[in-house]
Amino acid sequence: PELLCIFGTGDLGRSLGLRLLQSGYRVVYGSRRPHSCGPLPQGAQVMSHAAAAQSASLIFICVHREHYDFLETMASHLERKVLVDLSNNLKKGIYPEANAAYLQRLVPGAAVVKGFNTLSAWALQNGLLAGKQVHLCGNSAAAKQAVAEMATKLGLTVLDKGSLSAARELEDFPLQLFPEWRLPLRVALGLMAFFFFYLLIRDVIYAYVEQEQDISYRIMVSLANKVFPIVSLVMLSLCYLPGVIAAFLQLYRGTKYSRFPDWLDRWMLCRKQMGLVALGLALLHAIYTFIIPIRYAVRHKLISRVVDEMKNNKTTPFYFDDTEAWGTDSFYVLGILGFFLYVLLGLTSLPSVGGTLSWREFSFIQSKLGHLTLFICTAHGYIYGWNKFLRSSTYKWYTPPGYMLCLIVPSVVLVLKVILLLPCVDRTLTRIRQGWE
Amino acid sequence: PELLCIFGTGDLGRSLGLRLLQSGYRVVYGSRRPHSCGPLPQGAQVMSHAAAAQSASLIFICVHREHYDFLETMASHLERKVLVDLSNNLKKGIYPEANAAYLQRLVPGAAVVKGFNTLSAWALQNGLLAGKQVHLCGNSAAAKQAVAEMATKLGLTVLDKGSLSAARELEDFPLQLFPEWRLPLRVALGLMAFFFFYLLIRDVIYAYVEQEQDISYRIMVSLANKVFPIVSLVMLSLCYLPGVIAAFLQLYRGTKYSRFPDWLDRWMLCRKQMGLVALGLALLHAIYTFIIPIRYAVRHKLISRVVDEMKNNKTTPFYFDDTEAWGTDSFYVLGILGFFLYVLLGLTSLPSVGGTLSWREFSFIQSKLGHLTLFICTAHGYIYGWNKFLRSSTYKWYTPPGYMLCLIVPSVVLVLKVILLLPCVDRTLTRIRQGWE
Amino acid sequence: PELLCIFGTGDLGRSLGLRLLQSGYRVVYGSRRPHSCGPLPQGAQVMSHAAAAQSASLIFICVHREHYDFLETMASHLERKVLVDLSNNLKKGIYPEANAAYLQRLVPGAAVVKGFNTLSAWALQNGLLAGKQVHLCGNSAAAKQAVAEMATKLGLTVLDKGSLSAARELEDFPLQLFPEWRLPLRVALGLMAFFFFYLLIRDVIYAYVEQEQDISYRIMVSLANKVFPIVSLVMLSLCYLPGVIAAFLQLYRGTKYSRFPDWLDRWMLCRKQMGLVALGLALLHAIYTFIIPIRYAVRHKLISRVVDEMKNNKTTPFYFDDTEAWGTDSFYVLGILGFFLYVLLGLTSLPSVGGTLSWREFSFIQSKLGHLTLFICTAHGYIYGWNKFLRSSTYKWYTPPGYMLCLIVPSVVLVLKVILLLPCVDRTLTRIRQGWE
Ligand SMILES: Cc1cc2nc3c(=O)[nH]c(=O)nc-3n(C[C@H](O)[C@H](O)[C@H](O)COP(=O)(O)OP(=O)(O)OC[C@H]3O[C@@H](n4cnc5c(N)ncnc54)[C@H](O)[C@@H]3O)c2cc1C
Ligand SMILES: Cc1cc2nc3c(=O)[nH]c(=O)nc-3n(C[C@H](O)[C@H](O)[C@H](O)COP(=O)(O)OP(=O)(O)OC[C@H]3O[C@@H](n4cnc5c(N)ncnc54)[C@H](O)[C@@H]3O)c2cc1C
Ligand SMILES: Cc1cc2nc3c(=O)[nH]c(=O)nc-3n(C[C@H](O)[C@H](O)[C@H](O)COP(=O)(O)OP(=O)(O)OC[C@H]3O[C@@H](n4cnc5c(N)ncnc54)[C@H](O)[C@@H]3O)c2cc1C
Ligand SMILES: NC(=O)c1ccc[n+]([C@@H]2O[C@H](COP(=O)([O-])OP(=O)(O)OC[C@H]3O[C@@H](n4cnc5c(N)ncnc54)[C@H](OP(=O)(O)O)[C@@H]3O)[C@@H](O)[C@H]2O)c1
Ligand SMILES: NC(=O)c1ccc[n+]([C@@H]2O[C@H](COP(=O)([O-])OP(=O)(O)OC[C@H]3O[C@@H](n4cnc5c(N)ncnc54)[C@H](OP(=O)(O)O)[C@@H]3O)[C@@H](O)[C@H]2O)c1
Ligand SMILES: NC(=O)c1ccc[n+]([C@@H]2O[C@H](COP(=O)([O-])OP(=O)(O)OC[C@H]3O[C@@H](n4cnc5c(N)ncnc54)[C@H](OP(=O)(O)O)[C@@H]3O)[C@@H](O)[C@H]2O)c1
Ligand SMILES: CCCCCCCCCCCCCCCC(=O)OC[C@H](COP(=O)(O)O)OC(=O)CCCCCCCCCCCCCCC
Ligand SMILES: CCCCCCCCCCCCCCCC(=O)OC[C@H](COP(=O)(O)O)OC(=O)CCCCCCCCCCCCCCC
Ligand SMILES: CCCCCCCCCCCCCCCC(=O)OC[C@H](COP(=O)(O)O)OC(=O)CCCCCCCCCCCCCCC
Ligand code: HEM
Ligand code: HEM
Ligand code: HEM
């Protein structure tokens, strides 16, 4: 079997060597101190850098960029070798040059290939490679080909990103921190801030100003338990709005072959993350609701109501209001069913579950059951306010309560979706999506 | 690298081209309008259909079947080419002929291979291919071999389904909608309908007829919160019944080498789905239980009990019943532990979790802990009714309450399982399963 | 395509044959009764053992070790064949010799390769192979090479374990039962036992001895609902303690290139399992908390408090204590947020979710959000006891309550972590981890 060389016996060097040995290669390490370099994978040899470089034509540089200078001194040993640069940096833009370009400059006679830097030593050690995609770039096609073949043997899928000028991009990649989650999280935070202050004014400050009551303790639970479900519902409807907009756009244009505007494309690509953030908020809403009865304020209110009652000998509130019983129970049931479907949507978006579903099954759950979820959650919101819409005391300081505001977008989405489901519209749309123009 | 041709620059064409390029192929598109066909993957060429066909020997037809007619006109260009038909239909049975057969009829000189139609453009785009299985069929063995090699390079696993007459089957495959979930869902719906009406009669209608009380508001929560756990428990026991039946059958036959009856085989294959539906219902039961104390009817009952109490100066119910405290607390604890184990079973049935477990570990959780779950949940049911079994008022209109009915199957399963665990029986069974006859 | 032979038409033989056929091999079975051996995968042939052996050079022995004797009688037919031994045993150490060594002794002329025994028939049947790792061992390098190539074609990753003397180890592997879970589960059980008895004495026995009250019914729920969160919090902090110790060790040593002590290494390797057990206990704590208000004892206390109140005309407890409202509400909110983050940590440790994250993202969640979780949960504990720390009635029999004990380790971890975050310390540590010495 072929012999490969690895410079550096650190975390990455060791894990990579292990995997190469497992895939049938022979491995030789180049190290500063070949005789005291910690435990290496069984079957590997370790030598000085120069000796190790001699024996192999492909060398992995598993050393931090900060220590690359020693390579310059041994450039002559590296003539015509393929050097794979796997290095990452701690932050973006701390060096003017990409690490791989710097390496190429140090060793002009070698063919530098940048790649594998997205793999983690930990994943390599634990064999979590199957089907993972790695990006490569480099100026020499032959060198890239050699590296790509080796990667394929390790079970990786290779994607060629062109010449070494793409190295910077590859080096910035592992420094990303949830890029697709940013927009959804920002939208969620923005909505939460808005509704928090809106409700703070309407509930707490209003009571303080108009009734001189200090009910600020409600912020922790009661108010949060309005903000979370409200934002969750809005985010849920924002998941389904772009699909509806896209459909109307296609209907209007009469073709599916023109591109969507950029903002719509970007919106559609973060629907998954939007939905998951909405799920997180719905989960919080559910837990907040479950603990309502153990709260001090709630227990206090219950007890003092009874005591008041007895003391003043009022009996008014104690007849059993059947409508109220039906109303609140339906309200809870809709919430529970909505939440259940929400969890189902979340489960199918787990990569391993979604991956076992056929496309039709996935879109049945995400699209059909998703709209049903939206419908049920919206109904939950409507029934919550069923007897409050017409009461003028609802509109403190002439502002509508939070749940009314949050019902607007879902209602619009649902109405538009119903229009799209009308047989005539649906037929036209299906034909357009089949490719007719 | 080899050059492949793709007809059609739509969703699938684009995603497939992207993957082929990533796997090291060169790609040329054939399009109706080579000059205005939207963004194609970097590195691909685009030409007219005829020109593109010329240059490659393997052509993917990424066009809807409805538009295949243009292929007839260019049949001469397609002589001796391998045509891969990837098309799906919107519904089953809208065409008398399979799409691939139709294509073969249009272009008799080419070798048509049906396949890849289970892949989705979305999955291709996102690189979710590793280890996925694709089915192929076609009349020419050489053509199939060429396609299979290409598929292997993409990281797919290929399964040959024989001649082109299997094309219909392959085309119906992606139109499936949860085939293995149908039976479990039907069983669940049937049981739910039965228990719903049974309990409706026993609880609501009985109260209306005999006591002239309208307690129909209970349908939404109280009644549902009986139906869900009851059906969940029955479904759970139905998961473990077939294993017990199989064991007795093997004991009776004295060999494991005869096949099980068909119904048993089918039943065993949908236990996973049965269990997950049962888990879903148990989750609903848990959430319904959590919201009990915030229900209007419950709070009303609590308050009016106190008020009643005070007004009539009764003190009877206010001594602290220690047995009741122990009983209900044990009852809840068993429910919680059962639910916890249920969730554990659910987690290990996630493909990515189950896949990391050794067979012994998986069956330890699913079989050992599974039976424990069944036992605990059954005990939860028994303790619920511990002081009601002998009370005659329990048997309204001479019918047993729901929880009694639902305890029958689990009890039977548990008793049979205990028999199987007796050392003598267990030894015989193990030997039979080791292959002794 | 190449022809492979399988001895034994049982579960494993059938599933393996199916996969081999799907990967393009031809398959012939050797069976005791070629004409009545149940349904085999389509395309496979079946013959007598001798005839089947003749036609292929690689033979899979899919027969239990107990039946290997027949192979001795046909040793002549197996001269120079490669025999793959896939057998497992029911228990460890029931035979003096490894199965593969026994096979080699029976058929000295063949080259025995041990391997594939970690695959389950069930997984093979269902195609769950992609990227799975299999271990091989054997004395003949050529034979191993042939088997490894075949395995690679099946989509498996091969790891060579050396000569046949490793067979015992390979055979013991599938008999493992959650080895990495043992230590965490033992720690959890130990802590639970300790805190259970500690609290039993402090709460139940103390009340019995000092106040002659029998409150043993509290064991089921109240006491359990202290033990679970306490142990969960301790386990959570034990997840983050080794990281802190490691950092101080590196600081002290001034290098990262010396190995950690063994106990630290082992501890670090089971942090995932520790965290998941802690999550399980936190889930139990949450559910126990949700059902508090439906408990008999709680409802009884509520009612009797009101009744008492009315009878004795006390009004003391009925003014609304704003501090209490803020305090308990904050307490709950911290618990909920902590639990939410806990679930997030759990979700990212699902293999399929963790696998899609870059290393930086994974460690952002596990390390940054993990420490945040620890902080929030610790704060939850502190606020729970905020007004009890100084009360002398808290220290029954001079012992501190459980929650105080459980706050010690988390507090230590958090303080040490804060020290590590000080800019000067952090800078030194980063440099050490970059490889400076
Ligand atoms: C908890 C939760 C989890 C979620 N998880 C996921 C997830 O894992 N993955 C995910 O994608 N979404 C997820 N979502 C978001 C949402 O459920 C899905 O995006 C859902 O499929 C949207 O349905 P739709 O019918 O509006 O959109 P689509 O099914 O996308 O349809 C929108 C319309 O636009 C058209 N269209 C879409 N794309 C194109 C295109 N490229 N070219 C031409 N036409 C196009 C379609 O033909 C369709 O008619 C999740 C949501 C929630 C609440
Ligand atoms: C929440 C939840 C999730 C679940 N997830 C899963 C899941 O992911 N996967 C799953 O399979 N089940 C799942 N189940 C169902 C159930 O837990 C398992 O099927 C469980 O393994 C059954 O255990 P058992 O001991 O009855 O059956 P088995 O372990 O199948 O044993 C039954 C008996 O029949 C014999 N037997 C079985 N098959 C054969 C055969 N082919 N030839 C000869 N003998 C045979 C066995 O030797 C065994 O003694 C789930 C259940 C629940 C509640
Ligand atoms: C619900 C839950 C789920 C969890 N799931 C997981 C999981 O899936 N996977 C997991 O690993 N943990 C998991 N954990 C445990 C825990 O969250 C992580 O281990 C976490 O990364 C520890 O963070 P840390 O900063 O303490 O440790 P680390 O990020 O490991 O850092 C510790 C310090 O030691 C140093 N160090 C670590 N290893 C080495 C080494 N080999 N050589 C030199 N220096 C080293 C690092 O440089 C670091 O500074 C889970 C915990 C919970 C509560
Ligand atoms: N760890 C990961 O998960 C990971 C992932 C992707 C990329 N990378 C990249 O891989 C490279 C190595 O990372 P690592 O985690 O393996 O680092 P490491 O554990 O610190 O190992 C670095 C190795 O480099 C050698 N070295 C250190 N100082 C040197 C010097 N002055 N001159 C020459 N050699 C020196 C040492 O090997 P000897 O003692 O044998 O000489 C040391 O073991 C880095 O560029 C990193 O960005 C790491
Ligand atoms: N999308 C999927 O996920 C998926 C999955 C499996 C199978 N499939 C199957 O793949 C095929 C294509 O699906 P798709 O989603 O890619 O469809 P699409 O997006 O509508 O693309 C179809 C392409 O066909 C070409 N075309 C349209 N009308 C034509 C006509 N009259 N004559 C010639 N060519 C015409 C167009 O390409 P030009 O403009 O370049 O000519 C168009 O881009 C279908 O059979 C479908 O069933 C799709
Ligand atoms: N099942 C698994 O998931 C699994 C996983 C890993 C390893 N294994 C190992 O694979 C081997 C086979 O397991 P299995 O589950 O397939 O067992 P099995 O279903 O009991 O099949 C064993 C086969 O061996 C043959 N056989 C039985 N008695 C025999 C005898 N006296 N003389 C000659 N041949 C006899 C029979 O085939 P004919 O009737 O055709 O002769 C029978 O079908 C075992 O060593 C097991 O440890 C199994
Ligand atoms: C980053 C902070 C996010 C905070 C927002 C809250 C989100 C809440 C939940 C989603 C968490 C997702 C993890 C993010 C990791 C990631 O980036 O993950 C990234 C991957 C990306 O996958 P792709 O690359 O394939 O898009 O996403 C996932 O795998 C999605 C995981 C979805 C998990 C949902 C499971 C729901 C299970 C039900 C739990 C509730 C049951 C309650 C019963 C009472
Ligand atoms: C189709 C409607 C089904 C309705 C029935 C309710 C089911 C409820 C839950 C299961 C959902 C499964 C998704 C179906 C997708 C599918 O077909 O999925 C299909 C795959 C098929 O896998 P195979 O092809 O390998 O058999 O199944 C799965 O992946 C199983 C996923 C199991 C998920 C269980 C996770 C439980 C987590 C705990 C949540 C609760 C915590 C609560 C704490 C308080
Ligand atoms: C063995 C008994 C363990 C008992 C301890 C309790 C654990 C509780 C939960 C963890 C269960 C892990 C399954 C073990 C299988 C295994 O070994 O699994 C082994 C694999 C091993 O993976 P590696 O080999 O990659 O280390 O681990 C996993 O896959 C971890 C699965 C983590 C699942 C966490 C999901 C949390 C979802 C949130 C649910 C709650 C929502 C509530 C909302 C109200
Ligand atoms: C477990 C299931 C659920 C239960 C038990 C439940 C229960 C409740 C309760 C009791 C309220 C009133 C809160 C208050 O008094 O302020 C409420 C409000 C609300 N719920 Fe839910 N709910 C559930 C799920 C959901 C879901 C999934 C959504 C969708 C996102 C949702 C959206 C809302 C909205 C928008 C409000 C109005 C908030 C306000 O302005 O007060 N609920 N829910
Ligand atoms: C979170 C854990 C659980 C809790 C707190 C819990 C609690 C309860 C409660 C309070 C009841 C009485 C409902 C009523 O008054 O009608 C009940 C009934 C019942 N539960 Fe559970 N339970 C749990 C889990 C489970 C599980 C996992 C099962 C198994 C499937 C189960 C099966 C049943 C059954 C069969 C009944 C009887 C229904 C009836 O006829 O009234 N429970 N449970
Ligand atoms: C759903 C979120 C949570 C809620 C609603 C919650 C609520 C509670 C309540 C009501 C108590 C008092 C129990 C009693 O009276 O004995 C408590 C105690 C406690 N909780 Fe939580 N909690 C939550 C999550 C957590 C988490 C994630 C942890 C961290 C492990 C935790 C740790 C503790 C501890 C250590 C105690 C003190 C136990 C004692 O000695 O009494 N809690 N929690």
Coil vs helix vs strand at C92: coil
What is the Cα–Cα distance from A120 to A123, expressed in whole angstroms?
5
Residue C128, pLDDT above cutoff 80: no
Taking the C-alpha atoms of residue A177 and residue A179, their distance in angstroms, rounded to an integer, is 6
- pLDDT of amino acid A134: 83
Note the pLDDT of residue C151.
85
pLDDT digit string (tens) for B112-143? 999 998 887 877 876 666 557 788 999 998 99
Residue B317 is predicted with a pLDDT of: 54
Distances, alpha carbon C9 to alpha carbons C12, C16, C61, C147, C154, in Å: 8, 10, 10, 20, 20
Q: What are the domain boundaries of chain B?
A: 3-175, 179-433
Contacts of A257 in chain B (CB under 8 A): 38
* pLDDT recorded at residue C190: 98
* A390–chain B Cβ distance below 8 A for any pair: no
pLDDT in tens, A130-161: 557 788 999 998 999 899 888 877 777 777 78
| Best of B259, B307, B314, B360 to mutate (most C CBs within 10 Å, chain C) | B360
Which range, A35-39, A147-151, C376-380, has the best average confidence (pLDDT)? C376-380
Better-predicted residue by pLDDT, A277 or A175: A277
**Cα–chain center distance at A290:** 27
Please tell me if residue A347 touches chain C, with a CB cutoff of 8 Å: no
CA of A173 to the centre of ligand 4 (A): 19
Interface contact B293-C297, CB threshold 8 A: no
Instruction: Show which of residues 77-116 on chain A sit within 8 Å of chain C, judged by CB atoms.
Output: 90
Q: Do B351 and C128 touch (CB under 8 A)?
A: yes
pLDDT over 90 (residue C51): yes
Measured between beta carbons, the chain C residues lying within 8 angstroms of B353 are: 350-351
**Ligand 8 pocket test target in B349, B353, B366 with most atoms within 8 Å of CB:** B349
Q: Decide: A406 in ligand 10 pocket, CB within 6 A.
A: yes
Q: Is the CB of A115 under 6 A from ligand 4?
A: no
Percent of chain A whose pLDDT exceeds 90: 61
> What would the mean pLDDT of C409-433 be, rounded to a whole number?
95
Predicted confidence band of residue C228 (pLDDT cuts 50, 70, 90): very high
- Better-scored residue on pLDDT, B247 or A265: B247
**Contact, A358 vs B174, CB < 8 A?**
yes
- Specify the pLDDT at position C366: 96
Given a cut of 80, whether residue A197 has pLDDT beyond it is yes
The yes-or-no verdict on residue B424 having pLDDT over 80 is yes
Out of B159-173, B234-248, C190-204, C298-312, least confident range = C298-312
Q: Is C393 exposed, middle or buried (0-12, 13-18, 19+ CB in 10 A)?
A: exposed
Highest mean pLDDT among A120-129, B67-76, C415-424: C415-424
Residue C174: pLDDT band with limits 50, 70, 90: confident
| Phi and psi at residue B109, to the nearest 5° | -80, -10
Q: What is the predicted pLDDT for the residue at C127?
A: 63
Residue C317 has pLDDT above 70, yes or no: no
Answer yes or no: is pLDDT of C365 > 60: yes
Is residue A432 over pLDDT 70? yes
* DSSP state string for A275-307: HHHHHHHHHHHHHHHHTGGGSHHHHHHHHHHHH
Calpha distance B37→B186 (Å, rounded): 47
Residue C158: is its pLDDT beyond 90? no
Q: State how far the Cα of A206 lies from the Cα of C240, in Å rounded to an integer.
A: 45
| Residue A129 pLDDT level (bands cut at 50, 70, 90) | low
Q: Give the number of the atom of ligand 12 that is nearest the alpha carbon of residue A290.
A: 5
State the first-to-last Cα distance of chain B, in angstroms, to the nearest integer. 57
CB contact under 8 A, A359 and B120: yes
* pLDDT greater than 70 at residue C299: yes
Mutate to test the pocket of ligand 5, among B6, B7, B9, B11 (most ligand atoms within 8 A of CB): B11
pLDDT of residue B282: 98
Query: Taking all residues of chain B, what is their mean pLDDT, rounded to a whole number?
Result: 90
pLDDT of residue B328: 93
More confident residue, C154 or C113: C113
> For domain A3-175, which CATH number applies: 3.30.450.20, 1.10.510.10, 3.40.50.720, 3.40.50.2300?
3.40.50.720
Q: Does residue C418 surpass a pLDDT of 70?
A: yes
Q: What is the mean pLDDT of chain A?
A: 90
- Asked if pLDDT for residue C130 goes beyond 60, the answer is no
Is any Cβ of chain B less than 8 angstroms from the Cβ of C174? yes
B interface mutation test: which of C117, C303, C336 has the most B CBs within 10 A?
C303
* Mean pLDDT over the full length of chain C: 90
Q: pLDDT grade, residue A318 (50/70/90)?
A: low
Q: Assess whether pLDDT exceeds 70 at residue B271.
A: yes
- B36 by Cβ neighbours in 10 Å (0-12 / 13-18 / 19+) ranks as exposed
pLDDT digits (tens, 9 = 90+) for A323-379: 899 999 999 999 999 999 999 999 999 988 887 887 789 889 999 999 999 999 999
Are A376 and A337 a contacting pair, CB within 8 Å?
Answer: yes
Length of chain C: 437
Chain A CB within 8 Å of residue C343 CB: yes
CA C366 – ligand 3 centroid, Å: 7
Say yes or no: B351 contacts chain C, CB-CB below 8 A: yes
**Residue range A7-32: mean pLDDT, rounded:** 89
C-alpha distances (whole Å) from B98 to each of A256, A435, B45, B88 are 26, 20, 31, 10
Task: Answer whether residue A188 shows pLDDT above 90.
Answer: yes
pLDDT given for residue C129 in this prediction? 60
With pLDDT > 70 as the criterion, what percentage of chain A qualifies?
97
Which residue do the tokens 């939905």 mark? A275
Inter-chain contact B176–A358, Cβ cutoff 8 Å? yes
Q: What is the mean pLDDT of residues B193-217?
A: 93
Q: What percent of chain B has pLDDT over 90?
A: 61
- B265 band by pLDDT with thresholds 50, 70 and 90: confident
- C157–A304 CB contact, under 8 Å: no
